[in-house]
Chains A and B, each alone.
Chain A
Amino acid sequence: DTAVSQTPKYLVTQMGNDKSIKCEQNLGHDTMYWYKQDSKKFLKIMFSYNNKELIINETVPNRFSPKSPDKAHLNLHINSLELGDSAVYFCASSSKGQGFGYTFGSGTRLTVV
């Protein structure tokens, strides 16, 4: 029944590794997002996809590559992980243009050691 689900919930990995976070939504929304929440709790948008098309790409290192196989899924792949990538990553979805706000997943806490 979970509306926006992310896996894994926790991810601990060493510097230099490559990792992926998966996100799925069952709300029928056509737009999905990745947000990064830093240690000061600030939520910053990274990417947005609408019907599998990238529509927002904020200034994010190109080590981060989103992939949307269909409009219900948006995955985030991170290459060559760095210490500064440690954060909580949130996936969210919305119906584009309705202004009803976003539905968020419960987050993936990434720790790079």
Chain B
Amino acid sequence: GQQLNQSPQSMFIQEGEDVSMNCTSSSIFNTWLWYKQDPGEGPVLLIALYKAGELTSNGRLTAQFGITRKDSFLNISASIPSDVGIYFCAGQRFGANSKLTFGKGITLSVRP
């Protein structure tokens, strides 16, 4: 099935640092989304992107929908300890029965 590529699997940063995460695909998506999962909880939507080139912010988070529609990135600025968690990218195509396809996630650790 369709794969979204996220790497590395884990990232370790110092509190206050900025961090960027990338997500790539071999084919086009019409919608890109970024989710965060805290331990013991389900993924929660952070940012949704609907147009190629779109740049959207949500507080300290900024995400962009790649021009080719095959990639997206998420940037977290001035990280804080509660940013720890797993960050998933997800892509969706138009269509009656379109499903959300997830990347494998990046586990972010923030050192105080």
Residues of A whose CB lies within 8 Å of any CB of B are: 4, 33, 40-45, 48, 50, 55-56, 58, 90, 92, 94, 96-97, 99-107
Contact = CB atoms under 8 A, between A and B. Distances in A.
Interface residues of B, number: 29
A43 B104 CA distance: 7
B100 A102 contact: yes
Contact of A100 (B44, B48, B97): B48
Given A42-B104, A56-B97, A56-B99, A101 B42 contact: no
B66 interface: no
Contact of B42 (A48, A55, A107): A107
B30 A99 contact: yes
Given A42-B105, A92-B42, A99 B31 contact: yes
A33 B90 CA distance: 15
